[in-house]
Amino acid sequence: MEVVVMLICCWLMIQLLFVLFNMYVYPKMGSVKQKGKVSISICIPARNEEANIQACVESALNQTVLPLEVLVLDDHSTDRTGSILARLQQKYTNLHYWRGASLPNGWKGKVFACHQLAERARGEWLLFIDADVQMSQHTLSNLMPHLIKQKSGIISGFPRQIVKSAIERLLVTMMHFVILCHLPVPLVKKSSESKFSAAHGGFIAIARKTYDRIGGHASIQDAMVDDMTLMKRVKSFREPAQLLKIDKFVAMRMYKGAQDVWQGYLKNIFIGINRNYWLMTSIVIIYATLYLMPLITIWFDDLFLLSILAITIASITKVIVDWWSGVHHLYGLLFPLSVLLMILLLIQSAWQTTRKKGYLWKGRRYL
């Protein structure tokens, strides 16, 4: 058992070094200086977003480099989203909003909303953002040089997560940890292999010519994890792709409270690994071994120090990731609890898929 814990410590140390490498090479939005200008259509799908939509829209419109247009699709909201948008449209001439068409069979809700937005967009680049996103006024001015330099393809980034409840701090912050620990970030740009993909639906810019070439959202109409599916499709056409560090400019509160967090991840986590039961089993075993086993071996006198070392390395890695991502990093000290919650989520998500119960999100049930 001592050898096993020693190997865990060695692996965690290698992982920490890999994370630090990824942080060092991670492309940062604003790091490119490129002259010129392209037109950008900001596309916002909104469903029951009365608490967020005004701040989101105004942040999109109040940019130092103005977008060509801001398009918002009201996806059959049952709250005040539509009336807020109607009032804003009277104030801003380049804001256009309308109520979406009924959801056709075979389409997922957000994918169909994005499809309708793209149909009306006139920009050379389409920037899809979620309705709970807020952008600083310098976002487009710092994004545009990257668009000009890349010329086509797709660019995405992970907004800084505003986390307030305990479960948000424990689970939402795991997104960047998983990316930095397992994905060689430079290969998102350098490799055409779809397995080297990472995208966040809260912030996706795609060139219009690329969008049309790949068949747009119509080509991924049944995708539950639409952001990753879209980037993988772009890469399959050997179009350029890039992941940018955008948290200095873009923020969002993705989920509010325990129920939102659990239901939000429940619908994505198993589908995100392509409903692969073998991969799920491997993830559960590996994560339990690396991050939870030391909590058991710490009670053995001869393994106490090694176990403390393993727990310390893992926690330091999570603290560093949280600090780098711009979120409160002291919750990283509770990292084993984050891992336990993630494992339980993955198992429940797989179980619901097996039983064909589907997932409930924003009043719609998806299988």
pTM over 0.85: yes
| CA-closest candidate to residue 271, choices 335, 367, 189, 198 | 367
Dist CA 146 CA 167 (whole Å)? 35
pLDDT tens across the length of the chain (367 residues): 888 899 999 999 999 999 999 999 999 999 888 888 999 999 999 999 999 999 999 999 999 999 999 999 999 999 999 999 999 999 999 999 999 999 999 999 999 999 999 999 999 999 999 999 999 999 999 999 999 999 999 999 999 999 988 999 999 999 999 999 999 999 999 999 988 999 999 999 999 999 999 999 999 999 888 999 999 999 999 999 999 999 999 999 988 888 888 988 888 888 888 888 999 999 999 999 999 999 999 998 889 999 999 999 999 999 999 999 988 778 888 999 999 999 999 999 888 888 776 666 565 665 5
